[in-house]
Amino acid sequence: MIRMAVESDAASIAGIRKEITMSDKTTKFFISSPSEVSVDLHKEKESIRKCNGLYLVYEQEGRVIGYILLRRYEPERLHHVGSIEMGIREAFPGQGIGKTMIQHVLEWAADQQRLEKICLGVVSVNSRASHVYKQMGFEEEGRLKNQIRFEDGTYADDVLMAWYVKK
Protein backbone atom coordinates (compact mmCIF):
# COMPACT_ATOMS: atom_id res chain seq x y z
CA MET A 1 0.00 0.00 0.00
CA ILE A 2 1.26 3.47 -0.86
CA ARG A 3 0.20 6.38 1.30
CA MET A 4 1.26 9.87 2.27
CA ALA A 5 4.06 9.97 4.82
CA VAL A 6 3.12 11.18 8.29
CA GLU A 7 5.38 12.31 11.12
CA SER A 8 5.11 8.94 12.85
CA ASP A 9 6.90 7.42 9.80
CA ALA A 10 10.07 9.43 10.54
CA ALA A 11 11.84 6.63 12.43
CA SER A 12 11.09 4.08 9.70
CA ILE A 13 12.30 6.39 6.94
CA ALA A 14 15.50 7.26 8.83
CA GLY A 15 16.00 3.55 9.50
CA ILE A 16 15.68 2.72 5.80
CA ARG A 17 18.22 5.41 4.88
CA LYS A 18 20.67 4.13 7.48
CA GLU A 19 20.14 0.47 6.56
CA ILE A 20 20.75 0.89 2.84
CA THR A 21 23.72 3.21 3.17
CA MET A 22 25.43 0.93 5.71
CA SER A 23 24.89 -2.31 3.79
CA ASP A 24 27.91 -3.75 1.98
CA LYS A 25 25.59 -4.55 -0.95
CA THR A 26 24.14 -1.07 -1.39
CA THR A 27 26.46 1.46 0.26
CA LYS A 28 28.06 2.40 -3.07
CA PHE A 29 24.64 3.31 -4.49
CA PHE A 30 24.67 6.56 -2.50
CA ILE A 31 26.65 9.77 -2.51
CA SER A 32 26.51 10.02 1.28
CA SER A 33 28.73 7.78 3.35
CA PRO A 34 27.09 5.86 6.21
CA SER A 35 28.47 8.28 8.81
CA GLU A 36 26.76 11.21 7.06
CA VAL A 37 23.26 9.77 7.02
CA SER A 38 21.04 11.61 9.45
CA VAL A 39 18.94 9.78 11.99
CA ASP A 40 17.68 13.05 13.44
CA LEU A 41 14.00 12.26 13.91
CA HIS A 42 13.14 15.89 14.57
CA LYS A 43 14.55 16.89 11.17
CA GLU A 44 12.81 13.99 9.45
CA LYS A 45 9.46 14.91 11.01
CA GLU A 46 9.97 18.49 9.93
CA SER A 47 10.79 17.33 6.39
CA ILE A 48 7.54 15.37 6.29
CA ARG A 49 5.54 18.24 7.77
CA LYS A 50 7.00 20.94 5.51
CA CYS A 51 7.19 18.94 2.29
CA ASN A 52 6.67 21.25 -0.70
CA GLY A 53 6.07 18.35 -3.05
CA LEU A 54 5.08 14.77 -2.36
CA TYR A 55 6.28 12.41 0.37
CA LEU A 56 5.03 8.82 0.14
CA VAL A 57 5.74 5.59 1.97
CA TYR A 58 5.23 2.03 0.82
CA GLU A 59 3.73 -0.06 3.56
CA GLN A 60 3.46 -3.84 3.68
CA GLU A 61 1.71 -5.64 6.53
CA GLY A 62 1.82 -2.48 8.65
CA ARG A 63 5.57 -1.94 8.16
CA VAL A 64 7.11 0.90 6.12
CA ILE A 65 9.53 -0.75 3.70
CA GLY A 66 10.10 2.10 1.26
CA TYR A 67 9.73 5.83 0.75
CA ILE A 68 9.88 8.30 -2.09
CA LEU A 69 10.16 12.06 -1.81
CA LEU A 70 9.67 14.59 -4.57
CA ARG A 71 10.86 18.06 -3.57
CA ARG A 72 9.98 21.09 -5.68
CA TYR A 73 12.77 23.63 -5.96
CA GLU A 74 12.03 26.90 -4.15
CA PRO A 75 13.59 29.55 -6.43
CA GLU A 76 11.04 30.93 -8.89
CA ARG A 77 13.24 30.15 -11.89
CA LEU A 78 13.51 26.51 -10.79
CA HIS A 79 10.02 26.01 -9.39
CA HIS A 80 8.96 24.09 -12.50
CA VAL A 81 11.43 21.34 -11.49
CA GLY A 82 11.40 18.76 -8.72
CA SER A 83 13.91 16.17 -7.56
CA ILE A 84 13.36 12.63 -6.31
CA GLU A 85 14.89 10.70 -3.42
CA MET A 86 13.89 7.09 -2.85
CA GLY A 87 14.82 4.23 -0.56
CA ILE A 88 13.64 0.64 -0.17
CA ARG A 89 14.64 -1.80 2.56
CA GLU A 90 17.36 -4.15 1.37
CA ALA A 91 15.24 -7.26 2.02
CA PHE A 92 12.74 -6.32 -0.73
CA PRO A 93 14.66 -6.14 -4.03
CA GLY A 94 13.10 -6.92 -7.40
CA GLN A 95 9.48 -6.81 -6.22
CA GLY A 96 8.46 -3.75 -8.25
CA ILE A 97 8.18 -1.50 -5.19
CA GLY A 98 10.40 1.19 -6.71
CA LYS A 99 8.48 1.16 -10.00
CA THR A 100 5.18 1.38 -8.15
CA MET A 101 6.31 4.36 -6.07
CA ILE A 102 7.79 6.14 -9.10
CA GLN A 103 4.57 5.58 -11.05
CA HIS A 104 2.58 7.23 -8.25
CA VAL A 105 4.91 10.23 -8.31
CA LEU A 106 4.72 10.57 -12.10
CA GLU A 107 0.91 10.40 -12.05
CA TRP A 108 0.80 12.99 -9.28
CA ALA A 109 3.24 15.21 -11.19
CA ALA A 110 1.04 15.18 -14.29
CA ASP A 111 -1.71 16.91 -12.27
CA GLN A 112 0.50 19.62 -10.76
CA GLN A 113 0.50 23.21 -11.94
CA ARG A 114 3.82 24.39 -13.36
CA LEU A 115 5.68 21.14 -12.65
CA GLU A 116 7.47 20.33 -15.89
CA LYS A 117 10.49 18.23 -15.03
CA ILE A 118 11.54 15.68 -12.43
CA CYS A 119 15.26 15.15 -11.86
CA LEU A 120 17.33 12.62 -10.00
CA GLY A 121 20.91 11.51 -9.64
CA VAL A 122 21.92 7.87 -9.69
CA VAL A 123 25.39 6.54 -8.89
CA SER A 124 26.76 4.81 -11.98
CA VAL A 125 27.44 1.54 -10.12
CA ASN A 126 23.71 1.21 -9.34
CA SER A 127 22.72 -0.44 -12.61
CA ARG A 128 19.48 -1.85 -11.18
CA ALA A 129 18.18 1.64 -10.32
CA SER A 130 19.36 3.07 -13.66
CA HIS A 131 17.47 0.31 -15.47
CA VAL A 132 14.27 1.02 -13.52
CA TYR A 133 14.49 4.76 -14.13
CA LYS A 134 14.99 4.21 -17.86
CA GLN A 135 12.02 1.83 -17.94
CA MET A 136 9.92 4.54 -16.32
CA GLY A 137 10.85 7.06 -19.01
CA PHE A 138 13.74 8.94 -17.39
CA GLU A 139 16.53 9.96 -19.74
CA GLU A 140 20.18 10.58 -18.97
CA GLU A 141 20.89 14.30 -19.28
CA GLY A 142 24.45 14.37 -18.06
CA ARG A 143 27.19 12.59 -16.23
CA LEU A 144 29.61 13.96 -13.68
CA LYS A 145 32.58 11.66 -14.17
CA ASN A 146 34.45 10.41 -11.10
CA GLN A 147 32.24 12.69 -9.01
CA ILE A 148 32.02 10.21 -6.15
CA ARG A 149 35.13 8.90 -4.41
CA PHE A 150 34.50 5.97 -2.10
CA GLU A 151 36.44 5.19 1.05
CA ASP A 152 38.28 2.36 -0.74
CA GLY A 153 39.67 4.81 -3.32
CA THR A 154 37.40 3.77 -6.20
CA TYR A 155 35.27 6.24 -8.13
CA ALA A 156 31.80 6.38 -9.65
CA ASP A 157 29.96 8.83 -11.85
CA ASP A 158 26.91 10.80 -10.76
CA VAL A 159 24.42 10.19 -13.57
CA LEU A 160 21.86 12.98 -13.92
CA MET A 161 18.48 11.85 -15.22
CA ALA A 162 15.17 13.59 -15.92
CA TRP A 163 11.57 12.87 -16.79
CA TYR A 164 9.50 15.53 -18.52
CA VAL A 165 5.87 15.96 -17.54
CA LYS A 166 3.82 15.77 -20.73
CA LYS A 167 0.67 17.83 -20.62
pLDDT band of residue 33 (cuts 50, 70, 90) is: confident
The 8-class DSSP code of residue 132 comes to: H
Model confidence at 21: pLDDT above 90: no
Contact 148, 158 (CB under 8 A): yes
Q: What are the tens digits of pLDDT across the range 83-127?
A: 999 999 988 878 899 999 999 999 999 999 899 999 999 999 999
Q: Could you give the count of Cα atoms lying within 13 Å of 34 in the half-sphere of its Cβ? A: 13
Q: What is the pTM of this model?
A: 0.90
